[in-house]
Structure formats: C-alpha cells, structure tokens
C-alpha cells in the first residue's frame, strides 16, 4: 500500500529530475533537444510560476548541455532565481525578430521539437532548422504524477472541500437574510482563503496558491460557465458550487449541487443518477480503460436514465500544474489510464430554463485502486445536501 506523503514545496532536485527525463525523451527521438513554450510545460520543468502574457517565455532543453531559460528582459531578475538553468533575454515583444524565432537560434542546433508554435512562425522556423517536430514530449511526463505531486493535489482537494463545507454550514443563514449568489461565494471562499494562507502561506511563499470558485442557482445553474450574479436563490432551487484550489502550483477540484430547502423526487433522481455516473468513472479507471472509454462509460449512465439531452460536457479532465490539462476523459482521447494519473470527475445535467446540476470529485489512480481525494460528496450523502429555508 502506498504511504501518503506530507505536502511540501517541490525541491530543485524534483525539477532537475524532470529535465533529465525530458532530455532522455529527446535523445530517444534522435533530437538535439526540446524547446518548451507552453507555460504549463515550462513551469513543470522549472518550478517557476511566472506571469503568462503576450511575451513568450521558453525553456531550451538540450540533450547535452545546460538548460536555457529564455525570457523577456523585464523578467530577468525573476528568472535569475530559478535554479539549474542559464538565463538569456530578449528585449521586447513583438520585436524586430519574433522572440520564438530568436529562441530557436539561441539553441544553436539543427534538430528540435517544439511543444507549441504559432502557425505564422512555422515556415520561418523550418527554414532555419534541419528538422522541426511539433510534438509535446512533456505531456506523457505530466500525466503521471509522483508521490510528492499527489501530496500537493490531495491537500488542495482538502481545502476545496473546506469551501463546500463552509457553504453548507453558513449558506442557509445567508440566504435567509436575502443573500445572493455573490454573497454565498464571498463568504465561503473568503473564510477558506484565510485558512489556506494561515496554514500554508509561509511555507509555500512564491508558489501558486489560491482558490477559485463559482456559485450558480436555479435556471442559471444550467450555465456551466456562467458568471456569478446578485441573483437570490429561491426555495426549492439547486445551487451549483464548483471549487478549485491550488497549492504549490498543483490543482484540485471539488464540487456539489445543494438544494435550498427540501429535495424533490425528480431532483433526488438526478442527484442519485449523477452519483452512479461518478461510480462508473471510478470503476472504468480501476479497469484501466482508455480515457475516451471512461467518458463513454460514465456518460452512459446519464443517457440510460433519460438525461442524454441534458449532457453538455465530458466527464472529466486531467489536473496538475494546470487546473485543466491532458489527458482528457473525453471523446477522442485514446490515452490509456493507469497509476499516478489525476482526473476530475464531473457528472453534469443541464436543463436550460429549468435547472442545472453538477458534482466534482478529484480522483487519483493508484496501483491498488482509485482514491477519491476530495471527500465532500463521500462525507455528505445526497439527503444531507440542503440549505435550510
């Protein structure tokens, strides 16, 4: 049985090991190295949580030689704090010479793979290089987490659960005082942000740490990505809460649909069907099915319950350095699932003009089964998910 690690910031040795694994992938592909331009990939290989904007930041990883962190001049001092890399700078974006083309020249090699490249730069880059592969060699490394990464995700999931616990505890009182979606969100996230900072703020200073959340009610709950408004939930309506938390740069999610008042028969049927879809996701992952087949098995539960027309999205996605990352539990992703992967599980039922329902669990696949890292749903069965009127 795997021993759970305590969450702690990832040390420089972690990122050096990542870079070494990527060098071996480049060598196996008969390349001189990898140019990483995706912000998530750069962070994964360096531990640097930088501001993502129009100015590209790249990491050149040669098979042999020192890694080069390639940044705009205004980021020089920040980049100098990253251990294990040499820093080189360009002046500004867009520049007389596009920064990404400058990066390919700074590498000084003939054969490289690039994980992401704008279409207009493809021709000039290929003219400069003998061989250019548009391949993300980082993706399979990121898909399988180490114990230290899972420890961060597990702790992030625990704090995402705390937001839901606060909502369940205080939400009824807020609504009885004519509270709105905005009021619910401000209360539950504000309380747990303070707790997160008090618990981990000092140790994790300089890493990505925080909480994102949404609360939608009634007919607006049918909008998966709707904005939070000053709407006042009404008795009998569902309230969908989706919570994301990051710690040490690693993400987890937890989500639930509560009912303001008594749960009606049709509402209970939907909630129980969604729980069955979640169980089907876990079962499919434990059988090691490819991602697309996990999605098919889980959403099949909703379809067989007559809720197929209310499906608006896949069952889940990978999580790690980014809140949404590959692999995807969705049609078209044939990635085999296996130990060390982390996924969201998000059964959703959306009926525009009527209501919406979604739950979210963070799932960690292991050699001896699937761990449900977010515990709110497990600890709060369907009948307890109510806010008193």
237-285 confidence digits (pLDDT tens): 999 999 999 999 999 999 999 999 999 999 999 999 999 999 999 999 9
Quote the pLDDT of residue 214. 97
Q: Model confidence over 90-126: pLDDT tens digits?
A: 999 999 999 999 999 999 999 999 999 999 999 999 9
Strand partners, 112: 33, 132
Alpha-carbon radius of gyration of the chain: 23
pLDDT at 2: 52
C-alpha–C-alpha distance, residues 9 and 206, integer Å:
10
For residue 306, count CB atoms less than 10 angstroms from its CB and return exposed for 0-12, middle for 13-18, buried for 19 or more. Answer: exposed
Who's near 168: CB < 8 A, 6+ residues apart?
258, 380, 385, 387
Kindly report the pTM of this predicted structure: 0.96
Give span(s): CATH 3.40.350.10, the chain. 12-141
Residue 35: φ, ψ to 5°: -105, 115
What pLDDT, on the 0 to 100 scale, is given for residue 375? 97
DSSP alpha helices (H): ranges in the chain?
A: 12-28, 39-46, 76-80, 99-107, 119-128, 139-143, 147-176, 181-200, 265-286, 291-304, 376-379
- CA-wise closest residue to 278 among 260, 251, 256, 263: 256
N-terminal to C-terminal alpha carbon distance within the chain: 45
* Tokens read off for 327: 């692999």
CATH of domain 12-141: 3.40.350.10
Q: What residue ranges of the chain have pLDDT lower than 50? A: 1
Are residues 365 and 341 in contact, defined by beta-carbon separation less than 8 angstroms? yes
- The class that CATH gives domain 144-387 is alpha beta
- The Cα 354–Cα 339 span in angstroms is 40
CA distance 71 to 338: 36
Residue 132 bridge partners (DSSP): 112
Listed in order, the ranges of the chain carrying CATH 3.90.230.10 are 144-387
Separation of alpha carbons 129 and 357, rounded Å = 51
C-alpha distances (whole Å) from 31 to each of 38, 65, 112, 273 are 19, 13, 5, 49
- Residues 171 and 239 sit within 8 Å (Cβ to Cβ): yes
């Amino acid at each position: 049985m795997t021993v759970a690690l305590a969450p702690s910031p990832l040390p420089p040795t972690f990122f050096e090991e990542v870079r070494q694994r990527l060098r071996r992938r480049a060598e196996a592909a008969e390349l001189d190295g990898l140019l990483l331009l995706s912000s998530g990939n750069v962070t994964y290989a360096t531990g640097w949580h930088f501001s993502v904007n129009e100015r590209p930041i790249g990491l050149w990883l040669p098979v042999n030689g020192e890694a080069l962190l390639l940044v705009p001049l205004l980021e020089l001092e920040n980049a100098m704090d990253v251990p294990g890399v040499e820093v080189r700078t360009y002046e500004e974006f867009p520049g007389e010479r596009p920064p990404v083309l400058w990066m390919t020249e700074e590498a000084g090699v003939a054969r490289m793979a690039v994980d992401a490249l704008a279409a207009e730069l493809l021709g000039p880059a290929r003219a400069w290089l003998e061989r250019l592969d548009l391949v993300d060699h980082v993706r399979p490394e990121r898909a399988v987490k180490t114990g230290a990464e899972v420890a961060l995700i597990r702790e992030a999931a625990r704090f995402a659960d705390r937001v839901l616990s606060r909502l369940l505890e205080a939400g009824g009182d807020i609504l009885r005082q004519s509270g709105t979606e905005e009021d619910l969100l401000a209360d539950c996230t504000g309380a747990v942000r303070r707790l997160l900072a008090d618990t981990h703020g000092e140790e994790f200073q300089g890493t990505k740490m925080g909480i994102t959340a949404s609360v939608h009610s009634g007919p607006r709950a049918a909008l998966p990505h709707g904005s939070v408004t000053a709407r006042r939930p009404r008795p009998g309506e569902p309230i969908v809460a989706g919570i994301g938390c990051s710690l040490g740069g690693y993400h987890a999610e937890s989500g639930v649909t509560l009912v303001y008042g008594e749960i009606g028969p049709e509402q209970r049927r939907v909630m129980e069907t969604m729980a069955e879809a979640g169980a089907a996701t876990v079962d499919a992952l434990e059988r090691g099915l490819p991602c697309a087949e996990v999605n098919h098995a889980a959403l099949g539960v909703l379809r067989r319950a007559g809720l197929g027309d209310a499906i608006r999205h896949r069952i889940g996605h990978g999580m790690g350095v980014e809140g949404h990352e590959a692999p995807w539990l969705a049609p078209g992703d044939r990635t085999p699932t296996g130990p060390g992967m982390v996924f969201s599980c998000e059964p959703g039922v959306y009926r525009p003009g009527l209501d919406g329902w979604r739950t979210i669990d963070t799932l960690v696949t292991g050699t001896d089964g699937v761990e449900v890292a977010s515990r709110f749903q497990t600890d709060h069965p369907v009948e307890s998910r109510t806010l008193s009127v």
